[in-house]
Amino acid sequence: MKNETKCLHSGYTPENGAPRVMPIYQSTTFRFNSSNAIGDVFNDPTKAHIYTRFTNPTVDVVEKKIADLEGGVAAMCTTSGQMASLMSILNLCSAGDSFVSSSSIYGGTVNLFAQTMKKFGIECIFVDVDSTEEEIIKAIKPNTKAVFGETLTNPSMQVLDIEKFANAAHKCKIPLIVDNTFPTPILCRPIEWGADIVIHSTSKYMDGHALQVGGVIVDSGKFDFTNGKFPEFTEPDESYHGTIYTKDYAFAPYIIKARMQLMRDFGAYPAGHSGFLLNIGLETLALRMQKYCENAKKVAEFLVTTGKFDEVGYPALKENKYHKLAQKYLPNGCSGVMSLTVKGGKEQAVKFIDGLKLASNEVHVADIRTCILHPASSTHRQLTDKQLSDCGINPGMVRLSVGLENIDDIIADIENSLKNL
């Protein structure tokens, strides 16, 4: 099936007389006929739902749908994108290990990786997104267990060369994790380019309507965890009655391990109602992505003609530094987000934002409504100047997220505000 069809039908096929739409299973727990029956499910938690700290029937439908859209074998939802990033690493790294990450990643992820991970005894080694394959390999140490990158960076809109990062990781026998939040599987499927694990903040385009924060981790099922570098996958898990993930759950050892260890212990799992809302967003994802791209391209082309910007950072534009990579990885568009560098620095950037009436100034992005933000004074406020420039942010940068309003109204709003600059 194609994307549009998967968005509507994957994950749930009602049986004779069953509700057409997957109902909300808003229940912490599930009743069984006997202790033996519960014991059986503890033996193999893929058989039934036990407790909403780690599985739920409504969320399960969403997980299956997202796994199918990404071309993976299984997925696990989390209560935020941050939690998806954290668990994607903790499932591979313990204290004393390290992982390599592109420095062009979301600001919240930079904090998590550079500061909080350090407290766990896990080192993040940052490399430039434009590093050569050799440079990435050079950064990988014997204790390095993963490579991480972001397909289309929030907010600087740099494009990750997924194949290059995958090749470097695979030469060192470690998996590549890709944060695919902005493109969504509608615009790019990183697994097809060699990524082993894909994560998302579902708070963005997947939910689409700014209703709820969430995340997801998708397992491609392709990485060989029996290569000798990952004993936690190949030796009995004492915390789970001796389960050997690569043997007992060979179809998706990564996601089953994440669920049985991390989700069991941390419990950062969405409720049934959250799964239900996320599913509504996913149903129109393919259609919406097409329209975001169409509107954003028109806005970007207009902005270039105004002469008020040092840079209109939108990789779908021919003059963009990442245009070639965008043509390869994002041939159907680069989402609704763009990074704008307003002439005159921070003062003019703030004036531009405050002069907008339709676009709202808020800490959100990739929404159905047009929104805008000044990253250096908000989402990326905690970063040092060096970290800011490493992830491609300057003081005059504005992140614009073009929504689904009529294009004439969006452009008129921008035109009006630009008059003040």
Catalog residues that contact ligand PLP under the rule CB under 6 A. Answer: 80-82, 106, 108-109, 150, 154, 179, 181, 201, 203-204, 213, 215
| Phi, psi of 197, rounded to the nearest 5 degrees | -130, 135
Closer to ligand PLP by Cβ: residue 256 or 402: 402
Closer to ligand PLP by Cβ: residue 170 or 209: 209
Closer to ligand PLP by Cβ: residue 271 or 418: 271
Nearest to 81 by CA among 268, 277, 239: 268
* Contact assessment for residue 261 and residue 239, using Cβ atoms and an 8 Å cutoff: yes
Pairing assessment for the beta strands 309-313 and 144-150 based on DSSP bridges: unpaired
Cα separation values, 133 from 1, 57, 223, Å: 35, 42, 19
Least Å distance, CB 37 to ligand PLP, is 36
Chain residue at closest Cβ approach to ligand PLP: 81
Least Å distance, CB 372 to ligand PLP, is 15
Spatial separation of the C-alpha atoms in residues 33 and 93, rounded to whole Å: 39
SS3 (DSSP) at 88: helix
Least Å distance, CB 410 to ligand PLP, is 21
Least Å distance, CB 206 to ligand PLP, is 10
Nearest to 11 by CA among 56, 59, 50: 59
Least Å distance, CB 148 to ligand PLP, is 11
| Phi, psi of 297, rounded to the nearest 5 degrees | -60, -45
Closer to ligand PLP by Cβ: residue 150 or 196: 150
Closer to ligand PLP by Cβ: residue 124 or 418: 124
Least Å distance, CB 114 to ligand PLP, is 15
Say whether the peptide bond before residue 155 is cis (omega within 30 degrees of 0): yes
* Contact assessment for residue 176 and residue 194, using Cβ atoms and an 8 Å cutoff: yes
Closer to ligand PLP by Cβ: residue 179 or 413: 179
